[in-house]
A and B are shown apart, each in its own frame.
Chain A
Amino acid sequence: MIEFYLNGQPQRLDAVDPNMSILTFLRTKMSLTGTKEGCASGDCGACTVAIGSLDPQAPSRIRYDNVNSCIAVVGSLHGKHLVTVDALAGARPHPVQQAMVDHHAAQCGFCTPGIVMSLFTLHHAAHAQRQSPSEIQMLDALSGNLCRCTGYRPILAAGEAACRQDPTTDSDTAVPQADASGWLDNPAMCAELARIAEAHAILELREHGRYDAPQTLDELRRLRRDHPEARLIAGGTDLMLEVTQQLKQIAHLIDLTRIEALQQIETRPDGLQIGAAVTYRALEPILSERWPAVGALLKRLGSSQIRNRGTLGGNIGNASPIGDMPPILIALGAVLELDSTDGVRRLPIDDFFLDYKRTALKPHEFIRGVFIPDQDPAALLKVYKVSKRIDDDISAVLGAFSLTLNAGIVTDCRLAYGGMAAIPKRAHRAEQMLIGRPWDEAAVADAMAALAEDFSPMSDVRASADYRRHVAGNLIRRAWLETVSGQMHPSSTFPTTVFDYAHTHD
Chain B
Amino acid sequence: MRTLTTDPTPGAGLPRSEAHGLAGTAAPHESNWLHVRGQARYIDDLPEPTGLLHAAVGHSTQAHARIRAMDLSAVRAAPGVIDVITVADVPGHTDIGPVFPGDALLAGELVEHVGQPLFAVAATSHGAARRAARLAQVTYEPLEPTLTAEAALERQSFVRPTHVQLRGDPDGVLAGAPCRLQAEMRVGGQEHFYLESQVCLAEPMEDEGVFIHTSSQHPTEVQKLVAEVLALPFHSVQVEVRRMGGGFGGKETQAAPLACIAALLARRTGRAVKYRLSRPDDMIQTGKRHDFYNTYDIGFDGDGLLLGADIMVAGRCGYSADLSEAVVDRAMFHADNAYCLGDARVVGHRCKTHTVSNTAFRGFGGPQGMMIIERAMDDIARHLGLDPLDVRKRNLYRPGRDITHYGQHIDQHVLPDLIDALEASADYRQRRAEIAAFNRQSPVLKRGLALTPVKFGISFTAIHLNQAGALIHIYTDGSIHLNHGGTEMGQGLYTKIAQVVATVFRIDLSRIKVSATRTDKVPNTSPTAASSGSDLNGMAALDACEKIKRRLIQFAAERYGVDPDAVTFADNRVQVGADSVGWVELIQEAYLARVSLSDTGFYSTPKIHYDRDTGQGRPFLYFSHGAACSEVVIDTLTGEYKVMRVDILHDVGDSLNPAIDIGQIEGGFIQGMGWLTSEELVYDAAGRLLTNGPATYKIPAVSDTPPDFRVALWRNSPNREATVFRSKAVGEPPLMLGMSVWSALRDAVASLADYRYSPPLDTPATPERVLAAVMDTLDWADRNPATGNMADDPIDGTTGQSTGEQFGARP
Contact = CB atoms under 8 A, between A and B. Distances in A.
Interface of A: 27, 33-41, 43-44, 46, 84-86, 88-89, 93, 96-97, 100-101, 104, 106-113, 116, 139, 142-143, 145-156, 245, 247, 384, 386-394, 396, 460-464, 467, 470-471, 474-475, 477-478, 481, 489-491, 494-499, 501-502, 505-506
A149 to B, nearest CB: 5
A110 B279 contact: no
Contacts of A116: 36, 38
Residue among B36, B641, B705, B709 having the largest count of chain A Cβ atoms under 10 Å = B36
7 contacts: A36-B196, A108-B489, A139-B703, A461-B691, A461-B696, A471-B771, A477-B807
Contacts of A36: 42, 195-196, 245
A34 B38 contact: yes
A109 B31 contact: yes
Contacts of B197: 38
A108 B490 contact: yes
B149 interface: no
B443 A481 contact: yes
Nearest to A248: B131
A156 B702 contact: yes
B694 interface: yes
Contact of B45 (A33, A41, A471, A506): A33
Residue among A109, A110, A491 having the largest count of chain B Cβ atoms under 10 Å = A109
Interface string B688-726: 001101111011111111010101000000000000000
B195 A111 contact: yes
A391 B702 contact: yes
Contacts of B640: 386, 497-498
A481 B767 contact: no
A458 to B, nearest CB: 13
A293 B246 CA distance: 38
Residue among B37, B192, B489, B659 having the largest count of chain A Cβ atoms under 10 Å = B37
Given A33-B41, A36-B196, 12 more contacts: A43-B694, A97-B33, A100-B36, A101-B28, A108-B490, A110-B196, A389-B701, A396-B768, A471-B638, A474-B637, A498-B642, A506-B707
B667 interface: yes
B276 to A, nearest CB: 9
Contacts of A394: 695-696
A236 to B, nearest CB: 15
A154 B666 contact: yes
Contacts of A33: 38, 41, 44-45
Contacts of A386: 638, 640, 767
Contact of B702 (A84, A109, A145, A471): A145
A102 to B, nearest CB: 8
Contact of B193 (A148, A460, A463): A148
A464 B638 CA distance: 13
Contact of B705 (A156, A393, A491, A499): A156
Contacts of B590: none
Given A104-B26, A390-B703, A110 B280 contact: no
B610 to A, nearest CB: 32
Contact of B130 (A107, A247, A474): A247
B246 A389 contact: no
Contacts of A96: 36
Residue among B634, B638, B704 having the largest count of chain A Cβ atoms under 10 Å = B638
Given A33-B41, A112-B35, A151-B671, A40 B29 contact: no
Contacts of B768: 396, 463-464, 467
A470 B809 contact: yes
A151 B694 contact: no
A46 B442 CA distance: 41
B655 to A, nearest CB: 13
Contacts of B807: 477, 481, 491
Nearest to A490: B443
B138 to A, nearest CB: 18
A148 B671 contact: yes
Residue among B193, B247, B704, B767 having the largest count of chain A Cβ atoms under 10 Å = B767
Contacts of A150: 663, 666-667, 670
Contact of A501 (B445, B492, B701, B705): B445
Given A39-B694, A104-B32, A109 B637 contact: no
Interface of B: 26, 28-29, 31-42, 44-45, 127, 130-131, 134, 192-197, 243-248, 278-280, 441-445, 489-492, 633-635, 637-642, 644, 659-660, 662-663, 666-671, 678, 680, 682, 690-691, 693-696, 698-705, 707, 709, 711, 766-768, 771-772, 804, 807, 809
A409 to B, nearest CB: 23
Nearest to B278: A40
Contact of A109 (B131, B243, B634, B693): B243
A41 to B, nearest CB: 6
A107 B663 contact: yes
Nearest to A43: B694
B444 A467 contact: no
Given A388-B766, A490-B443, A494-B442, A110 B42 contact: yes
A471 B36 contact: no
A390 B703 CA distance: 7
A104 B809 contact: no
Residue among B442, B709, B711 having the largest count of chain A Cβ atoms under 10 Å = B442
Contact of B771 (A462, A467, A496): A467
Main secondary structure of the interface of B (DSSP, over half): loop
Contact of B633 (A155, A460, A498): A498
B272 to A, nearest CB: 16
Given A104-B659, A143-B702, A491-B807, A109 B694 contact: no
A460 B489 CA distance: 34
Contact of A474 (B442, B641, B809): B809
Contacts of B279: 38-41
Going nearest first, the 3 A-B pairs with the smallest beta carbon separation are A34-B38, A108-B490, A110-B245
A108 B244 contact: yes
Nearest to A482: B444
Contacts of B696: 394, 461-462
A471 B278 contact: no
B294 to A, nearest CB: 23
A463 B771 CA distance: 12
Contacts of B194: 108, 110, 148
A452 to B, nearest CB: 13
A108 B444 contact: no
A467 B492 CA distance: 43
Contacts of B707: 502, 505-506
B780 to A, nearest CB: 18
Contact of B698 (A88, A149, A393, A470): A393
A89 B678 CA distance: 36
B702 A106 contact: no
A481 B444 contact: yes
A203 B42 CA distance: 32
Nearest to B805: A490
A498 B448 CA distance: 13
A502 B37 contact: no
Contacts of A496: 443-445, 635, 637
Nearest to B244: A108
A247 B767 CA distance: 34
A70 to B, nearest CB: 10
B38 A113 contact: yes
Nearest to A241: B695
B195 A148 contact: yes
B429 to A, nearest CB: 20
Given A109-B31, A496-B637, A388 B445 contact: no
A477 B810 CA distance: 11
B351 to A, nearest CB: 23
A271 B130 CA distance: 49
A238 to B, nearest CB: 10
A38 B196 contact: yes
A156 B709 CA distance: 12
Given A391-B701, A391-B703, A41 B694 contact: yes
